Structure 1
Amino acid sequence: MFKQKKTKSAKRFGWLAIIISSLTCFIVGGGIVFLFMNHQLQEAEATNQSLGKISTVYSALYNNYYKKVSRTKLVNGALTGMVNSLGDPFSEYMSKSETESLSNTISSSFTGIGAEVQKSGSHIEIISPIKGTPAEKAGLKARDIIEKINNKSINGYSLNKAVSLIRGKKGTNVTLTIKRGSETFTKTIKRDTIPVKTVNGKIVKGHPTVGYVQVSTFSENTAKEFKAELKNLQKKGAKSFIIDMRDNPGGLMDQALKMSSIFVKNNKVLLRVQQRTGAQQVYRAGKKFDGGYKIKGKTVVLINSGSASAAEIFSAALHQSAGDQLIGTKSYGKGTVQNTMPFNDQTELKMTIAKWLTPNGDWINHKGLQPTIKADYPSYAYQTAIDTKKTYQQGQVSGQIKKLQILLNALNYNSGQANGYFSDQTVAAVKKFQQANGLNATGQADAQTVNKLEEKIAAQISQHDDAYQTAIKALN
């Protein structure tokens, strides 16, 4: 009987424990739900209060401002202001025309000067001039600050407003006032059609098994063009490759993944994308990206300060996951990912949504990628452009004349010591240059002479490309 009673008592206690436990779980669970809902309600209330304040300011301005104001202007101003408060040059609210401009840049040709730009504080800064475009031919460089467009200050302008002023009809001119370091100069640039083709290649002269591929930007068809060019060069005998990512401002991330996977063994990391929570999405090489097409020959990548964004994703993947060398100078350092949110009125919000990390987990933002072999253009390649608003002549002394002398000497027109004094020897050198290039031999350096001089220097720089020559040696 005792054992039996003990058993009944134990059963009663067991059921009671289950009931109490269930109630406890319900209470604890209910508490968690309550806390979560309470947090959500608090967030909603805070949001409503903020929106209420915005609505009040909007109504006050629209109804009581001393003169009539556009609803669209107020709404766009509020949206732009919110995005600008982030202090992120890569996040922006874009109008309909600005959205179309971005779409054209990614998917089709457009007319302009061919320079990728960004907002940097209150300034508009050049990320990189695209190879072969008017901007590159005019000598614009990464990190140049555009202070004026057509002699009008653009301080405080939105990025897209500045871009819309720079772009225009093919054959028309735009005058930019550029600040580079402590110097300021003016360049008048003729707008042209910026080419859709983003990939060019060739067999390196004197090296029949070395293919050279230059990528100017990452647009919708870049990976397709890239693969086609690689196959074309292989048919011509290429077994190793130089991939030139210099002055490539980046573009679409998916194109960089498709292209880098070609050189990286399957399942090796190409890229890590880190969300605000810290969670990472890891992208690995494989058929999903490269379609089963692989390059197994030795490859090197050329980079410089104009290599940004997707160009850095590609370069980092080949360096860290395929062991390929980076040759050149430190890259730009853009380590964030943007996405666009379209609206029914054809405007868009472009917003930074994540960080991207290299295969090794490095965040290169503002740091850039360091080359394994440093090599660069000759020093005169970094000579700042000469201001073409003035004509320089005998007897004058200035820093602009010193730059003129440096370039003349680099082209073997002996202008004497580069000291900024326009001497008899400088006059003779200018005349000799003008005669050799079909210009009126006045001995004075006018805008036409300066532009031709800089054009000749650009051509010579490409023939004295130490990074390119270093890459050939590395492959051989």
Structure 2
Amino acid sequence: MFKKKEREDTVLEKQNKGKSKKRYSLLTVVIVGVLALLVGSGSIFYIMDQKLTAAQQTNSSMSKIEAVYSTLYNNYYQHVSRKKLENGALNGMVNALGDPFSEYMSKSETQSLNDTISSSFTGIGAEVRKNGDEIQIVSPIDGTPAEKAGLKANDVIQKIDGKSMSGVSLSKAVSYIRGKKGTKVTLTIKRGSETFTKTLVRDTIPVKTVTGKLDSEHKTVGYIRVSTFSEKTAAEFKSEIKSLRKKGAKSFVIDMRDNPGGLMDQALAMSSMFLKDGKTIMQVQTRDQSPEVFKAGKKYDGGFKVKEKTVVLINGGSASAAEIFSGALNQSANIKLIGTKSYGKGTVQNTVPFSDKTELKVTIAKWLTPDGSWIHHKGLQPTIKRDFPSYAYQTAINTKKTYQKGEVSDQIKKIQVLLKALGYGPDKANGYFDTDTQDAIKKFQADNKLEETGTADKSTIEKLEGKIAEKLTNSDNAYQTAVDEVK
């Protein structure tokens, strides 16, 4: 009835398009035939009776839905549009699943998903998901406004341009976030017990999903960053491997941190490059079926293999396709994972398009790691646990107020933590703005050519946070450990 497009918000299966439907149909015929031979013609009537019962139940349900629709449209005390009732019914059925990754998408929301797949859209560059009534960030995409603004995995978007996102659908929230390049969008973010606002300027999200370079100190170590899995990621990845080899790379650090996932066929192709032919990449299990096993081979990697020593970096923002890749390399090629526990998304979604350019996105299977584990809500555990210093995860400081001696607050404690991280003191970060804190701020202001007021105003706080960001680039413990492993 509909041509099914196999996609997913973070893991999008485009593998064996058209073949799967034929294979399962044939399997159904074979099973029915075997049953008839084994237990006689009586089983045929039993199966037909089952189908008849199912059809009757469906007709009964649809009649009830039609009755409710007709009653509301004709008898509600105010006029209500057919489209509103239709969308309400469709969304209601999907929401009844309680699955944040299944949804009925409007025309604009469908286009938004298609843009994401092709990586040709404008927005802030953050992968988001529905978590209960909340809109939650899975991870910011590298080099985007979201990443530059310091948004992090598990941040909750409470408001967009002052509009509450509580109970708002995921696709509707995304439509609020996206917009024309150069326009601004203000997000109210909740991180832990803290709430703050960030105003971001929408930009074109990078089409290039793979970047690489040689380590600055160890020129035989190639570093490759994969920001997401879109239509050309595997080709970009292969090209980057070849380029770094020519430059002298003898080993690789693959960075999957804050990678929200993407197309499953790209994850299969990239994983296969590191695995011996015949080794399991992943398994996909649909309802009431045995898992389908996907194995490395020329059909995925075209014969291109990476045999150099490799490690993979992961963190809480590594989701879905990034977890497929990381899990495959870890379990089927004994490649170490370094960092922190990954996000934990183990389901696959397909989309069914309608003639009015809307789509139904629905979870149709769960995917398993090579050893058969389902990491949904669990994530992958790193082989070696490494992380940034704790101050890297501190929430943003409110710059609407100037802080001064004698005050006490959590915001002052944050200032003290950052001052201490930069070597200015004070000895204790207790939230009390004492003389030591004042002296530390004066010295910081002097070193950075700011007015030496001894108070923490907006310009001082912004400079302080900027210096911390610079410091963090040299405090990547996971990356340094990875280099030590492969150099």
Counterpart for residue 303 of structure 1: 314
Larger Rg: 1
**Could you give the per-residue CA deviations for residues 409-455 of structure 1, whole angstroms, max 9, x where no partner exists?**
21233345311122344344445545555656554434454344333
TM-score (norm. length: structure 1): 0.90
Distance 1:331 1:249 in 2: 10
SS at match of 2:262: coil
Describe the shift of the 1:360–1:462 C-alpha distance in structure 2 as closer, same or farther (beyond 3 A). Answer: same
Structure 1 residues 150-169: aligned runs within 5 Å: 150-169=161-180
Task: Tell me, yes or no, if structure 1 residue 114 matches structure 2 residue 134.
Answer: no
Describe the shift of the 1:27–1:404 C-alpha distance in structure 2 as closer, same or farther (beyond 3 A). Answer: closer
Q: Is the 1:123–1:155 Cα contact (8 Å) retained in structure 2? A: yes
Describe the shift of the 1:224–1:421 C-alpha distance in structure 2 as closer, same or farther (beyond 3 A). Answer: same
Task: Tell me, yes or no, if structure 1 residue 65 matches structure 2 residue 40.
Answer: no
Distance 2:450 2:74 in 1: 63
**Could you give the per-residue CA deviations for residues 143-173 of structure 1, whole angstroms, max 9, x where no partner exists?**
1111122233210000011111122233333
Task: Note the C-alpha offset of 1:325.
Answer: 0.5
Counterpart for residue 284 of structure 2: 273
Describe the shift of the 1:74–1:258 C-alpha distance in structure 2 as closer, same or farther (beyond 3 A). Answer: same
**Could you give the per-residue CA deviations for residues 180-239 of structure 1, whole angstroms, max 9, x where no partner exists?**
223322222232221111111001112121100000000111111100000000001111
SS at match of 1:371: coil
Unaligned 5+ segments in structure 2 are 1-35
Greater RCO (CA < 8 Å, at least 6 residues apart) = 2
Task: Tell me, yes or no, if structure 1 residue 396 matches structure 2 residue 407.
Answer: yes
Partner letter of residue 155 of structure 2? D
2:244 corresponds to which of 229, 233, 239: 233
TM-score (norm. length: structure 2): 0.88
Task: Tell me, yes or no, if structure 1 residue 219 matches structure 2 residue 201.
Answer: no
Q: Is the 1:138–1:455 Cα contact (8 Å) retained in structure 2? A: no
Describe the shift of the 1:392–1:191 C-alpha distance in structure 2 as closer, same or farther (beyond 3 A). Answer: farther
Q: Is the 1:93–1:350 Cα contact (8 Å) retained in structure 2? A: yes
Counterpart for residue 476 of structure 2: 465
SS at match of 2:273: helix
Say which is worse superposed, 105-114 or 201-210, in terms of deviation: 105-114
Structure 1 residues 356-395: aligned runs within 5 Å: 356-395=367-406
Distance 1:98 1:435 in 2: 50
Structure 1 residues 117-266: aligned runs within 5 Å: 117-266=128-277
Counterpart for residue 84 of structure 1: 95
Describe the shift of the 1:299–1:63 C-alpha distance in structure 2 as closer, same or farther (beyond 3 A). Answer: same
Say which is worse superposed, 107-116 or 267-276, in terms of deviation: 107-116
Q: Is the 1:186–1:388 Cα contact (8 Å) retained in structure 2? A: no
Structure 1 residues 98-113: aligned runs within 5 Å: 98-113=109-124
Describe the shift of the 1:338–1:27 C-alpha distance in structure 2 as closer, same or farther (beyond 3 A). Answer: closer
Task: Note the C-alpha offset of 1:118.
Answer: 0.2
Question: How big is the alpha-carbon RMSD for the aligned residues of Structure 1 and Structure 2?
Answer: 2.0
Q: Is the 2:105–2:358 Cα contact (8 Å) retained in structure 1? A: yes
Unaligned 5+ segments in structure 1 are 1-24
Distance 1:352 1:190 in 2: 33
Partner letter of residue 160 of structure 1? S
**Could you give the per-residue CA deviations for residues 229-283 of structure 1, whole angstroms, max 9, x where no partner exists?**
0000000111110000001010111000111111111111111111111311111
Describe the shift of the 1:294–1:35 C-alpha distance in structure 2 as closer, same or farther (beyond 3 A). Answer: same
Describe the shift of the 1:92–1:391 C-alpha distance in structure 2 as closer, same or farther (beyond 3 A). Answer: farther
Task: Note the C-alpha offset of 1:462.
Answer: 1.8
Distance 1:66 1:186 in 2: 41
Distance 1:333 1:443 in 2: 45
